[in-house]
Structure 1
């Protein structure tokens, strides 16, 4: 839907992925006029490639306890978010509370997963070690080679493409607008405040701007932009009989993950590559992902390979998102979510909508303020 030319919108959201659309929807629900500007089509970037895992427990890492707390809050927000979005649009998001099973194939895997399970236990997470036999009892399609694994019943998944479609419909129903195929070249400012955005089609005035442009968020000429960079991920989609999924839960190993959807789609991912904005799908990555999935779920080899794509996650130096007010009045950041964009979209959207409405009370996102990088640089400079 094209927005009327020359109209002054209260809020312009740069980026039509899940995070940008969710922010726009929540802002529109508050009664503000909002326009999403997307360089391609909504969901054409990382959101359309992502597997949609809502898995803070199995993705917990050493040294990321602060991020873990946010991820757990993000996961807790999803049941109500999914229910509301489905009710308003009639679209099935394929939100499934099926749990996740992280399995070990060799002794090295066992050692790594045991250490992670000790961390999960120490953090009070619901993750239980299972023997190889117990893993196969839970998922009969697993290879006999499985030596053990960790069951995380609270980890879930959703179909990001369905979420994009639903968010688009929900936003339009609230009076929001979307302008597709338009690249934002810069955030425009007047003095110390934003004045809108400049696009290839001309300026779009606005009282507030939300930057949710994913891996391209640092390209908009904003002073003190947070250091967001692209992190390439290649991912595969297979198809098979819906009544014979390779697994009923998310299945992960140290080398891949496999997500089975109700309609027969099976998602296998994903690489993590520092390749700039390269979106090439490589034979080596396809081979490694399929091999890693086959060694734990042998039935994978009978599936039809229907899609191989690459996406660009928005990474940051500390692997944490960038959510909050920027250095200009009326500027807000909702980016840098790396592998957690789908997971954190609901709470990011609520936080941004609250900030625009003048509510500064969301302390959960305080550690992820956009100014943390500038503050760290100042501290480093003063120490030398």
Structure 2
């Protein structure tokens, strides 16, 4: 296997304190353009709703904007939370994206809601599309609708009705199933689809789930071999101390999320350092932060690059998707994301050296 894995990016479009969503979106689009110039393989946008610290609520819109700002990098969703959307809508959105940027679109599909129960009920107000038990059927519906032959429906009258996602693109987006449990891994293996485990969010049981996917894989015409990569939270900076400082805002945010605390916009580095100084060093929040810190890739360029190589080798993959989680400092522009850009530049540079 190639010892220098390809690099990709997953972007949740973080919103820091004092920053508007518009500024956060602008910063993320600049980051996508940078990843394109640096040679990254793909750039995916997540789907989350009603979160002050996350502006990634509509992957297709962000994908279209990023495709217009880039020339070669694949752009996609990581992922579209399918129970929130009608399969035909998803198929048509991504067929349109493929027509706009042929050969560059990934449709990553997830089964989780991506929000709290109240917002989920609003997103699923359409009724039958909200049935999580129909997830496998909805995935296969999307595959059929985007294909050249479309789907065939038998009406109550007995007549056959042909349906195709329009506009009909000359090519079809690559469909990936995403998950943090064995459910999507089993389904991806059964359908012969690429699969990605959400290691950046969960990390529990990844080895077993990837083995389950690979061992149970049923080859398809489009994907004769199982295909996967590893996601990981990463912060690279000129020094290890600077990297750990820049990781702190996101570490604190994730610790609060997992303990059920109220969430706001992402702290700046200085705000996070001040808040940490006022909290007990052995408290629950601090313990959660240290547990996550051990799983994230944080350090100078050489350290993070070595960890990326090791991660790829341990899990038998040729691609690593970075979630650049470096926070911003108080004096940095609100429409830029210096720490995340620095992470992408340093890791790419160290891996190619």
Same fold (TM over 0.5): no
Query: Quick check: which one's helix share is greater?
Result: 2
The one of the two structures with greater contact order (alpha-carbon pairs below 8 A, sep at least 6) is 1
Query: Scaled by the length of structure 2, what TM-score is found?
Result: 0.31
Query: Quick check: which one's strand share is greater?
Result: 1
